[in-house]
Amino acid sequence: GSLPNAERVAALMQQAHDQFASLDDGAVADYIPSLGTADPALFGLAIVGVHGDARAVGDADHLFSIQSISKAFVFALVCEALGHEQVWRAIGVNNTGLPFNSVMALELNGGRPMNPMVNAGALATTALAPGETAVSRWAFIRDGLSAFAGRELEIDTVVYESEAAANHRNQAIARLLQSYGHLPGDPIEVTDIYTMQCSLLVSARDLAVMAATLADGGVNPVTGRRVVGEEVCADTLAVMATTGLYEMSGEWLFEVGMPGKSGVSGGIITIAPGKGGLATYSPRLDAAGNSVRGQSATRFLSKALGLNLFASR
């Protein structure tokens, strides 16, 4: 299968944008102080097919920090470096049923992270990035995410500094992982690299290219460059399906029928394997930290474009 023809995709994206732009439920995240300044009116959609064909509507070129969406791509890069077995044993692949920054989830699981899409498991994943020094581990992550995007990604220093000054909870989670023997390296340094990865600036258009790379078995369809292997993509999509929208992942899969990943700045990516990647951006979030308009637009487009993976045709 493939995506419907370009005109139909463009018309449905415009319809989704027009229909859901009036939704103003939810609130912009402000526990990271600088995220609170985002304009709640922003709304962008982008789709990139596995042949590199791109479509965008609304504020698809607005740059925002990638936040938790980075978790999917760092997981893929670490899987590529370490392999399926080691990552499975070290990080886990099950949903916690609890919020993304839960400490209790870690305690209830005997101090082991449960999956790479929530903060504990994401910190443990970042800790596994190969490299002799913090600088080389950070380069591994930044270069890898840039290869997914097909351009050199840069940190939003305002967001980085704002979160770095306020991320005591993530530091505590990293220290707790260390105390249980599940975080190699220095927890404060790992938290800092994690905070940098979350601060990388992307647009919905960039995210759609990154998502399309996962849809294309690890080859960036715009640059033609292989970023990770096919098995790694399958592993990453499986974990996104179980936990990409945190404790709401079941409802997401029920409504959308595809793996997705959200972040607190308001982005969501969705992957139609073998077809393409969809990205939405709108900063107002529901209680679980998932973009309200993004969820509605993605649900609409999944149905309208016939992308549900569980449909027999």
Residues of each annotated binding site for substrate: 68, 119, 163, 170, 194, 246, 264
- Give dist(CA 145, CA 151) in Å, integer: 9
C-alpha separations of 34 from 29, 163, 176, 197 in Å = 9, 8, 27, 16
* Member of 26, 263, 273, 276 binding ligand GLN (CB under 6 A): 263
* Member of 170, 178, 236, 249 binding ligand GLN (CB under 6 A): 170
Closer residue to ligand GLN in complex, CB, 13/198 = 198
Closer residue to ligand GLN in complex, CB, 119/125 = 119
- Give dist(CA 262, CA 250) in Å, integer: 14
* Min separation Cβ 27 and ligand GLN, Å: 14
* Min separation Cβ 193 and ligand GLN, Å: 12
Sign of CA dihedral 242, 246, 251, 257: negative
* Member of 289, 293, 294, 300 binding ligand GLN (CB under 6 A): 289
Give residue number: closest CB to ligand GLN: 68
100 binds ligand GLN (CB under 6 A): yes
101 binds ligand GLN (CB under 6 A): yes
**Residue listed under structure tokens 């991320």:** 167
Four-CA torsion 305, 306, 307, 311, nearest 10 degrees: 170
Binding residues: 68, 119, 163, 170, 194, 246, 264
- Give dist(CA 231, CA 84) in Å, integer: 8
- Give dist(CA 196, CA 156) in Å, integer: 9
198 binds ligand GLN (CB under 6 A): yes
* Min separation Cβ 25 and ligand GLN, Å: 18
Closer residue to ligand GLN in complex, CB, 263/276 = 263
- Give dist(CA 43, CA 36) in Å, integer: 16
* Min separation Cβ 123 and ligand GLN, Å: 9
Q: How far is CA 100 from the centre of its chain?
A: 12
Residue 214-253 contact track with ligand GLN, rule CB under 6 A, x = bound:
----------------------------------------
Nearest one of 120, 73, 80 to 100, comparing CA atoms: 120
* Member of 34, 56, 58, 67 binding ligand GLN (CB under 6 A): 67
Left, alpha or beta for 118 (phi > 0: left; psi -120 to 50: alpha)? beta
Residue 119-148 contact track with ligand GLN, rule CB under 6 A, x = bound:
x-----------------------------
Contact at 8 Å (CB) between 158 and 34? Answer: yes
* Min separation Cβ 199 and ligand GLN, Å: 8
* Min separation Cβ 135 and ligand GLN, Å: 21
* Min separation Cβ 63 and ligand GLN, Å: 16
291 binds ligand GLN (CB under 6 A): no
Angle in degrees, 0-180, between the axes of helices 204-215 and 134-149, rounded to the nearest 10: 90
Taking residue 165's Cβ as centre, other Cβ atoms within 10 Å add up to 12
264 binds ligand GLN (CB under 6 A): yes
Q: Is 240 helix (H, G, I), strand (E, B) or coil?
A: helix
Residues of the shown chain interacting with ligand GLN in the complex, contacts defined by CB under 6 A? 67-68, 100-101, 119, 163, 170, 198, 263-264, 289
